[in-house]
Amino acid sequence: MRKIFIPITVLWLLASSCASTKNSKTNIADVSKYMNSITANELSDHLYIVASDAMEGRDTGTKGQKEAGKYLIEQYTKNGISFPVEAENWYQKVPSEFMAKGFAPKLPDSENIWAFIKGSEKPEEIVVISAHYDHVGMKNGEVYNGADDDGSGTVALLEIAQAFKMAQKEGHGPKRSILFLHVTGEEHGLHGSRYYSENPLFPLKNTVVDINIDMVGRRDTLHPNTNNYIYVIGSDRLSSELHTINEEMNAKYTNLELDYKYNDRNDPERIYYRSDHYNFAKKGVPAIFFFNGIHEDYHKASDTPDKIEYDALAKRAQLAFTLAWEIANRPEKIKVDRDGK
């Protein structure tokens, strides 16, 4: 075999090129890895605490809700996630007077809870991921645990935040900032999200999207044979890009059936107006609402953690994560190109 002599400089250039190619590959984030850190087991562990009898149904401003809030803060702290430096602490206080509503019973002072991961390139642009951590409390001495409503969304935020933090620790932090917003007073009139939308920590003009997660741990009567679905509501009202990106992320990562039944403008249930995303949408912030539909335990004492389908909860939380990941990391923020109607 004939010998071929290659100059040392050429060998050096080849070696450098290979090393550069290898490094560029290792610097690409493995989104599936972070997505799969959201697990059914961890969601279950959190939910059996958040929706336990000890939390007394988490009614707005009560001791039980405050205890649930302390648990959320403990989990964020354990994962090395803090409140925004723009805030004094973990709490946005929502005063009783703000939640006063007609002849309804007076509510105590309460709090939204926020956690924050700062963006690496566009920190002033904010992706909000929201869920309400209140429920309806106790009735006649019986605890209404609210495992699905909205313990499921509450613990989904914990797992999504943990996934983003894992990525950040490995050098793949989001380019835009992520605000994890646990709102209060939803059951009494979307009060906590309304308070934030009127008193935002970050300007709403810099808020790219609200991804709202409310009831994602069960199946409804319209899907008796599968839990591999999710209702998607509001995604096309203000931004056609938001709608398209969600479909793309689902096709790439989770393959859920995306059901748009409740996104119908003529929906008699008017679900679009009944959760916290709406207070962002009416201020012009693109919003998307993930929802599993109404089931027989809705607003009953029987909405307990043992009835949650944790495989479905994990998969739906994973979709929300991949959507947030894409929106947080794409070159341009999503455009508002529709009128919201």
DSSP string, 208-226: EEEEEE-S-SS--TT-TT-
- Give the Cα-Cα-Cα angle 241, 176, 90 (nearest 5 degrees): 120
Q: Tokens standing for 16? A: 């450098």
Whether pLDDT at 15 is above 50: no
Q: What is the mean pLDDT of residues 31-46?
A: 98
Query: Whole-angstrom Cα distance, residue 268 to residue 94?
Result: 31
Residue 97 near residue 91 (C-beta atoms within 8 A): no
Sign of CA dihedral 55, 61, 63, 67: positive
- Give the Cα-Cα-Cα angle 309, 314, 319 (nearest 5 degrees): 130
Residue 135 near residue 59 (C-beta atoms within 8 A): yes
Chain length of the chain: 341
Q: Determine what percent of the chain is predicted with pLDDT higher than 70.
A: 92
Q: What is the mean pLDDT of residues 150-156?
A: 99
Amino acid (1-letter code) at residue 224: P
Q: Which residues lie below 8 Å from residue 13, measured CB to CB, with a gap of 6+?
A: none
Query: Whole-angstrom Cα distance, residue 37 to residue 188?
Result: 34
Q: What is the mean pLDDT of residues 13-35?
A: 64
pLDDT digit string, tens, across residues 164-187: 999 999 999 999 999 999 999 999
Residue 236 near residue 313 (C-beta atoms within 8 A): no
Question: What pLDDT, on a 0 to 100 scale, did the predictor assign at position 295?
Answer: 97
Residue 290 near residue 231 (C-beta atoms within 8 A): yes
Q: For the CA atoms of the chain, what is the radius of gyration?
A: 22
With H, G, I as helix, E, B as strand and everything else as coil, classify residue 339. Answer: coil
Whether pLDDT at 135 is above 70: yes
β-partners of residue 340 are none
Q: Which residues lie below 8 Å from residue 81, measured CB to CB, with a gap of 6+?
A: 115, 116, 117, 161, 165, 180
Q: What is the mean pLDDT of residues 216-222?
A: 97
Q: Tokens standing for 286? A: 């693109």
What Cα–Cα distance (Å) separates residue 21 from each residue in 32, 59, 139, 167? 21, 55, 63, 21
Residue 314 near residue 239 (C-beta atoms within 8 A): no
Q: Determine what percent of the chain is predicted with pLDDT higher than 90.
A: 90
Please indicate whether residue 20 or residue 58 has the higher confidence score (pLDDT).
58
Mean pLDDT of the chain: 93
What Cα–Cα distance (Å) separates residue 31 from each residue in 23, 27, 104, 288, 332? 17, 12, 46, 21, 19
Q: How confident is the model at residue 5 (pLDDT cuts 50, 70, 90)?
A: very low
Which of 158, 290, 303, 146 lies closest to 232, judged by CA? 290
Residue 160 near residue 320 (C-beta atoms within 8 A): yes
Whether pLDDT at 92 is above 80: yes
Question: What pLDDT, on a 0 to 100 scale, did the predictor assign at position 26?
Answer: 53
Q: Which residues lie below 8 Å from residue 272, measured CB to CB, with a gap of 6+?
A: 233, 234, 237, 262, 263, 278, 289
Residue 144 near residue 113 (C-beta atoms within 8 A): no
Query: Whole-angstrom Cα distance, residue 225 to residue 291?
Result: 17
Whole-prediction pTM: 0.93
Amino acid (1-letter code) at residue 163: A
With H, G, I as helix, E, B as strand and everything else as coil, classify residue 72. Answer: helix
